[in-house]
Structure formats: structure tokens, C-alpha cells
Amino acid sequence: MVNILKKLQFQFITNIFNFVEMYLLTKLKKTFLLLLKSFFILCISFLILQNKIQAADPADDPNTTVADTIGNSDSDSGSGASAASGSEDTAADNVELNSFEQEVKKAPTKKETKSEEKNIQDEKIEQVTDLTKLHSFNDISVLQKKYLSKTGRFQLSGGVSAIANNPWANTFGINGKFGYHFTEAWGLEASFMAMTGSDSVDKKELQKENDITTSNFVTLKGYYGLDLVWIPIYGKMALHNNKIVPFDMYFSAGGGASQIEGGQGGGTIHIGTGQIFAASKSFGYRWDFSWNGYLAKPQGNEQRFFNDLVLSFGVCFFFPEVNYR
Amino acid sequence: MNQKKLNIFSTMLIVFTITLFQTKLMAETIELPEDELATETVTPIYDTPDVVKNRNIVTEKKFELGGYLGWNTTEPIYNQGKFGLNIGYHWSEKSALVFNYAQWMSGLNTFYTDGLRQDPNNLDFDRAPKKKYSLYAHYEWKVFYGKISLGKHLTTNTSTYPIFGLGTTAYEHKSFPGLDLGVGQKFYFNKWSALRVDLKLQVAQQISPFLGDTTAPYNNDKSVKVGNPTPEPSDFKERWGVNTILDVGVSATF
């Protein structure tokens, strides 16, 4: 019925046009007539096309339903992060943790053959559950949406340190680090330590019982150096099943110079590892476990190789502000 | 007259046609009620948040068995190394009781004792009572559970837990009490095995190996000094000390 009406409409308009054309033939030039004829044909064509679009059923358009349900999901694990509040991140993290629990359970993905591939346009997506019909990703960056982005940012950290393997002295002090992260995985960091110590119980007893002064035992006084930092591990932890705490685990290697009490220090090799727990997008808590190997010459003794295990705790700040996507 | 009528009629038809086009070509304005439009993003806040809904590593009501190598990094005289076993039971996802047995390696810490043996010190610490083993009961409070990503193609689960323990260290003649305070972390290879790293401060009663001759003529009393009479284990003094213990091993839950 609609088609018949359309045909009649078209015929009517054509007849009108012919009538007008005959009328104007006696009055106007042929060129103007041709332009006018072209204009009316264009209008008629658009009219018919418009009717065809309006006749389509809106429910058949897959884009409407899918656009309403996908939301803001993003698979990039690059440097940016949204400006969402902590509660939004928690909810998103909840979904992430659960979805990636499923990923860990899955078997390794097989290479799909051409016959197994499905064109997304062939699938009708009408409900949220229909999203499972979509073509699976071949490459997924795990633990997406890095909370504490480091690319292109400076890091300033400070805290307290203690020597964990010196039996002759209780050595404590402060540490400071200043670094720059070129990428999420690589960075450079300068560090220093200023230590002070007191004689341990073993040293006091050795002196009291056997009258021996341990001048050949070394106590670290200070260290400064430069490290290459590699951050290959990113993780998230649930605290009491209530809160998600993102963290990075890093390894560092480099060198510097050590100073000792009552003697001459020397060049130092430094290897370390640690974790940074993100409290916000610019602040975190950090612990570090390092090994310093160095040559030193205690007073009145020959030069020897010494090594210290240093345990540090502190806080770190990242600046400037992260680039949001 | 006919020409006039024809003109009027043709004009009306042209106007009608243009009007008809205009109606069809006009865009439709869809108005939505303001109260149905979203004005801000709202995240639901749950009264009882449950961030881990589907735990990959389940340890509740499972036993744990593992082996490790350890070091007492602040021990000056005795051998710093040990090896041992961890045997425990996890009665919930938050709590576990693990018995830590450590067999101390024989010998001395030669990094320091060799120098103290030489002149003019002449101290022989082989005379000190031998340390045998330690047995501690550790309560592990598993407050952290999560996962880590290694690069972009590998994920594994991890767990961090404070450690609180009580136990004893046995020497050849006597045992002494002590307590542990520390933190441990596990990195899981799969659902039942993990790499385990524990760092503890151990406050314990222990033997002081620096038994010396403090009374003149300084060569008659029993002491560790070469040339003096060899002391009995009970001759050595006892004291409280703080040790830093580092254990690295593997564990399996079943």
C-alpha cells in the first residue's frame, strides 16, 4: 500500500513538472528549464530515499544496543589513566580482578582458522549476554589500566634504612632517591644513604671478655650511586578483601661509592629489589632490599671486600601530573 | 481568462510541491525528559565489599608442605646457613598455622672467625656449644592476596602475610626460647605450588660464645682462647639477642 502511494505521488509530481515545463516553454529559455528540471529530479530522489530510511525498523540496528552497553572499557595499558575517583577505580578493579581470574583459568588460546572466525556484523547483539558472541581478542594486555603511571615522570623518595647483616654494629640511617622513568618498565635513579651506628652486643662482649677491639670490622657511613631501574612486574592486591592496592615490583642495578667509619671506602656495586604500593596516582609507599659490595680499607688493615644488606622503608612521590587519556 | 486560471493553478501546484518536499526533508527533533538523562557518573557503593569474587588460589582447609634454605644474616660466630621444612595448615583464607623446622649447618662463620683465630687474638670458637636446630610455630595472617603481571603475557597470583611465632632453639646441651616477627610473600607457580620468601626478626635467648679469661693470670680459666682449658657448654653465658632471618624456599598446598 505504501509503495502504491509512493508511485502515485511520484507520477503526480512528474505530471506537475511536465505541465509546468509546457507552460514555461513559452516563457523561458531552454537552459533555465534544464536547470530547473534537474533540481526537481534531485528533490524527488531525496524524497524517495528519505521515505526508505524512515521505513526501516530501529530494532534491527545493532549499533544502538552495543553502544549502550560497552561503556568506557579500554584495553590499552599505556601511560594514561582516567581521572575517575577512587571508588570508580575500585569498582572497575573489582570487575578486572574477576574477569582476569577467568582468564587465568582458561586454556591457552588456539590459533583460529578462517572457518572459525566470525564476522561481528553477522552476529545480532541485542542484549548484554550477546557480547559473548563477539570475536575474541588475540592479544590482551593483562592487568590493564595501570593505576600509578610512571612514564615521563620524576620520582622522589625518602625513608629509613638499616644494615641487616652487620653483626658488630647496629647501623641505621636515612635514604633518599631521585629518579626519572623513561617508560613504565625502565628508569634511572640516583640514591644516597647516610648511616650511623652503635656497637652491637656481640662487639661489646668480644671486647669485654677477650679484650679485642674490632678495628678491622667495617661500619658503613654513607653511600651514593646511580642505578638502572627495571620494573617488569605490575600487580594488584586485595587488602582484607575490602580494598585493592596496586603495586609495582622493580629490580635495580648500578654502582657508586661507599664511605666507612674510621677508614677508606671505595667503589661499590649495588643490586636491589623492592616494591612500590600506590596510595594515589602520585604517592606511594616503598620498601627496598639491596646488596652493596665494595672494597674498603679499615684503619690499620689491608683492603678487603665487604658487603652490606640494606633494608629500607619509605615513601615516594611522582611528578608531574600524569597525562590522562 | 483561461491563461490567468492556468497561471494560478500552476503556481499553487508548485507551492504545494515545494511544501511537500519541505515537510519530508525537515529533521525530526527528539526531546527527552530531563529527569531521565544521566547527570553524573555514579559508582555503586556496597555495604559489604567483596573485591575477590572468584579466588584462583584456594588455601582454605588445606595443608602446606615446603622446604627452604635460610640465613641468619647477623650471626657473627656460628654458621649463618640453615635448611628446613615448613609444615602447616590453613584453616581459612586469612589464617594459617605453620611449623618451621630449621637444621642449622655445622661449622663457623669463617668470614670473621678465621681472623679471630689468628694472632694476636687466638680465639677458637669450635669450643663454643654447637647449635643444633630450631623449631617455631608461626601464625600467618594472610591479609594480602592478589596477582602480578610479568610483561604482557603472564599473570600469576601472589600473597603477602605478616608472621608471628614462638619457638625454641636447641644447642647441644640446652634449649632456649624465642619469638619471631616478620613478613612473608608467596609467588604462585600454579594453584598448588609457590615460591616463598620470609624475612623475620628473631628475638631469642642464646649462648654467648665469647667466653673469655677475665681474671689474672689470664691463662687458667676456661675460655675460647687457645691455650686455656676447654670450657663445658654450661660454662658459657646466656643472653637475649636479635637476629635477622631470611628464608627462601618452595611450598605446596594440598
Per residue in A29-55, pLDDT (tens digit) is 565 566 666 666 666 665 665 565 455
Say yes or no: A86 contacts chain B, CB-CB below 8 A: no
Q: How far is B40 from chain A (nearest CA, A)?
A: 12
Instruction: Return the higher-pLDDT residue of A186 and B20.
Output: A186
- Tell whether the model's pLDDT for residue A313 goes beyond 70: yes
d(CA A137, CA A94): 21
User: Do the chains contact at B210 and A13, CB–CB below 8 Å?
Assistant: no
pLDDT band at A142; cut points 50, 70, 90: low
Q: Are A194 and A224 spatial neighbours (Cβ–Cβ below 8 Å)?
A: no
Instruction: Return the higher-pLDDT residue of A271 and A73.
Output: A271
- Least confident segment among A24-38, A154-168, A180-194, B179-193: A24-38
- pTM for this model (two decimals): 0.65
pLDDT at A48: 62
Residues A82-111 have a mean pLDDT of 50
pLDDT band at A75; cut points 50, 70, 90: very low
DSSP class of B72 = E
Residues A126-141 have a mean pLDDT of 64
Cα atoms found within 13 Å of the Cα of residue A10, Cβ hemisphere only = 15
ipTM: 0.72
- Tell whether the model's pLDDT for residue B69 goes beyond 60: yes
Instruction: Return the higher-pLDDT residue of A274 and A265.
Output: A274
pLDDT at A88: 47
User: Do the chains contact at A235 and B146, CB–CB below 8 Å?
Assistant: yes
- Tell whether the model's pLDDT for residue A136 goes beyond 70: no
Residues A255-265 have a mean pLDDT of 89
Q: How far is B31 from chain A (nearest CA, A)?
A: 17
CA distances from B206 to A36, B176, B230, B243 (A): 111, 6, 20, 10
Cis peptide before B177 (omega within 30 of 0): no
Residue B190's contacts (CB-CB under 8 Å, 6 or more residues apart) are none
Q: How far is B5 from chain A (nearest CA, A)?
A: 12
Helix (H, G, I), strand (E, B) or coil at B77: coil
Q: Which residues of A touch B45 (CB under 8 A)?
A: 87
Residues A167-193 have a mean pLDDT of 94
Say yes or no: A144 contacts chain B, CB-CB below 8 A: no
Cell numbers representing residue B168 in the block: 625454641
From the list A93, A168, A237, which residue is nearest B144 (CB)?
Answer: A237
What is the average pLDDT value for chain A, to the nearest integer?
A: 74
Q: Are A206 and A221 spatial neighbours (Cβ–Cβ below 8 Å)?
A: no
Q: Which residues of A touch B245 (CB under 8 A)?
A: none
pLDDT band at A217; cut points 50, 70, 90: confident
From the list A43, A98, A245, which residue is nearest B54 (CB)?
Answer: A98
Helix (H, G, I), strand (E, B) or coil at A6: helix
Helix (H, G, I), strand (E, B) or coil at A246: strand
| Interface with chain B: mutation pick from A24, A37, A142, highest number of B CBs within 10 Å | A142
Q: What does the buried/exposed string (b/e) look like for A28-42 if buried means 16 or more CB atoms within 10 Å of the residue's CB?
A: eeeeeeeeeeeebee
Say yes or no: A161 contacts chain B, CB-CB below 8 A: no
- Least confident segment among A224-228, A240-244, B103-107, B179-183: A240-244
Residue A322, amino acid: V
What is the average pLDDT value for chain B, to the nearest integer?
A: 86
The size of the A-B interface in CB pairs under 8 A is 160
pLDDT at A253: 97
DSSP class of B234 = G
- Tell whether the model's pLDDT for residue A64 goes beyond 90: no
Q: How far is B58 from chain A (nearest CA, A)?
A: 12
- Tell whether the model's pLDDT for residue A115 goes beyond 70: no
Q: Are A144 and A75 spatial neighbours (Cβ–Cβ below 8 Å)?
A: yes
Instruction: List the Cα angle A229/A233/A235 in 5-degree steps.
Output: 135
